[in-house]
Structure formats: C-alpha cells, structure tokens
Amino acid sequence: MQANQARATNPIRRAAARLRLTPLHPQWFAFLREERNLRATCARISGLVVDIGCADGKPRHFLPPGARYLGIDYFPTATGWYDTRPEVYADARALPLRGGSVDHVLLLDVLEHVPDPDSCLAEIGRTLKPGGRLTIQVPFQYPVHDAPRDFHRWTRYGLQRAANRHGFTIEEEIALGHPLETAALNSNIASSKTVLNWAARRNPLVVLGLLLPIMVVVTNCAAWVLARLSKPDDLMPYAYRMVWARR
C-alpha cells in the first residue's frame, strides 16, 4: 500500500523538487541549509565512511579525495519506496562489517525509522574504530513521515543520554531551525497536506488551493526575515545534528 502511494506521488515530488531551494516550496527551511551542512560535515571526514540509510548516496559527492564511501540501506525501503541501489543492503541493527573497521558513520534522518534505536547505536559503536565518529541527524519538531516506519523523536537531552549510554562523547551539537522557521515549515506542510486531502476527496474547498503558493511564499519569507532580526533560539528546532566520537 505505502509503496504504491510513494510511486503515485512521484510526479508531484519531482515537480516540487525543482522548487526545493526557493521559498515556493513548503519545506524550504528543511532544504535551505542541507547542502551547506553536508559540505561542512563531509569536508572533515577521511578513511572509510559508511552511510547508513543512504538513499541516493548524496554525501559521496562532498567527500574529500581519499575517503572511501560505502552506502548501506534497508532492502524493503530502498527497493519498495525509493527505487535506490546502495552498495550494500542491510539492517542497521546487523551491519555486515568487521568490528573496529570504520572511521566515520553517517546516520542522517534514519534513527527515527529504526524500531530499536539502541541496537542500531550499539551496532555502530561495534563497527567504529576507537576515536571513530558518528554524524547523526534526527528530526524533532517535524511531522510523521514514511509511515508506518516512523517511530521516535528525541530532544537534545535524550540524544546526550543515548551518546553516553553507548560510549560516545559529543564533539558538536547543532539545533537546526529558529522557532519561527520551524513554525513556518510545519504550517506549510499542514496546509499542503490539507489541500492534497481535499483534492483526493474531491472536496469543493480544494479551490482554496489556488491560494496555497501565495501562503507558502509569504509564510517562508516572513519567517526568514523575522528570524534574521531575532536572537538565536533553540526552543523548537525542526532537527538536531550532532557529531559523536567513540570513546
């Protein structure tokens, strides 16, 4: 059922993807700094890099010369939902890698989709060399996605406890999104989903969808300007990104 829905919405997703770096896109704030953050993360990586839940393997394009990339993804998700082909199909809780063989693990917007996150983190700890690093990103104030495989949300304090529990120290911690940006992001997603629901049910209110592009642009631009004029605030980020080092 979910796979069929994903394929059915592919044309819509492809059309929206062309606008993802403009304020016309409902999730503009989620994509706005994505490439910059990825460049900054990958620039400091060397050795064997394992990208768990790699999807289309985008990080490989930002790695410095000499780094070796290995993309791993879950077979049902990669083949049934996203039609991607990683180097290795595997479950994040049982990685086909030798202990202490990996220099850096990328776990970007993946851990929330693992039913047992502690087993995933323990497995990553097993594969990392002493001093090896894990770059982890998880959503916080963000809607349910990839249902029914969306299980968890963490505060920064929950992530800190998880790092300590699994033998990591935290080297870097970033809250992504000013509260106004996060509010705009979620408001735009809610409005867009409502219009799509109206269209699917042939609700006459769907005509109000003609106003959606204007609403999205105004909401995005207003939030961006007001966030720039306000002091930084990590009250409600849409995601957290951290770098953990194995003790």
How many domains is the chain built from? 2
Residues 187 and 165 in one domain: no
Question: Does residue 138 fall inside a structural domain?
Answer: yes
Residues 88 and 189 in one domain: no
Whole-number Å distance between alpha carbons of 63 and 69: 8
Question: Does residue 12 fall inside a structural domain?
Answer: no
Instruction: Determine whether 189 is exposed, middle or buried from the number of CB atoms within 10 Å of its CB (0-12, 13-18, 19+).
Output: middle
Mean pLDDT, the chain cut into blocks of 10 residues (247 residues total)? 42 71 95 93 94 95 95 93 93 96 98 97 98 97 95 98 98 97 98 97 97 97 98 97 97
Residues 69 and 160 in one domain: yes
Q: Pairing relation of β-strands 128-139 and 239-246?
A: antiparallel
Question: Does residue 28 fall inside a structural domain?
Answer: no
Residues 155 and 39 in one domain: yes
CATH number of residue 87's parent domain: 3.40.50.150
Question: Does residue 25 fall inside a structural domain?
Answer: no
Residues 142 and 238 in one domain: yes
Question: Does residue 15 fall inside a structural domain?
Answer: no
Question: Does residue 131 fall inside a structural domain?
Answer: yes
What pLDDT shows up at residue 14?
66
What pLDDT shows up at residue 139?
98
Whole-number Å distance between alpha carbons of 28 and 23: 6
53: helix, strand or coil: coil
Residues 188 and 143 in one domain: no
Asked whether 97 and 127 are in contact (CB, 8 A), the reply is yes
Residues 113 and 192 in one domain: no
Question: Does residue 11 fall inside a structural domain?
Answer: no
Task: Give 208's DSSP letter.
Answer: G
Angle at 189 between CA 233 and CA 217, to 5 degrees: 80
Whole-number Å distance between alpha carbons of 54 and 64: 18
β-strand partners of 173: 242
Residues 91 and 154 in one domain: yes
Residues 42 and 157 in one domain: yes
What pLDDT shows up at residue 102?
98
Residues 70 and 40 in one domain: yes
Query: How many other C-beta atoms can be found within 10 angstroms of the C-beta atom of residue 54?
Result: 24
What pLDDT shows up at residue 4?
39
What pLDDT shows up at residue 63?
96
Question: Does residue 124 fall inside a structural domain?
Answer: yes
Query: How many other C-beta atoms can be found within 10 angstroms of the C-beta atom of residue 50?
Result: 26
What pLDDT shows up at residue 5?
40
42: helix, strand or coil: helix
Residues 108 and 171 in one domain: yes
What pLDDT shows up at residue 209?
96
What pLDDT shows up at residue 55?
93
- List the domain range (segments joined by +) for residue 213: 180-228
Residues 143 and 204 in one domain: no
**Torsion angle defined by CA atoms of residues 156, 159, 164 and 169, in that order, rounded to the nearest 10 degrees:** -70
What pLDDT shows up at residue 3?
39
Could you tell me the CA-to-CA distances from 81 to 73, 108, 118 in Å, in that order? 12, 18, 25
Query: How many other C-beta atoms can be found within 10 angstroms of the C-beta atom of residue 69?
Result: 18
Query: How many other C-beta atoms can be found within 10 angstroms of the C-beta atom of residue 178?
Result: 24
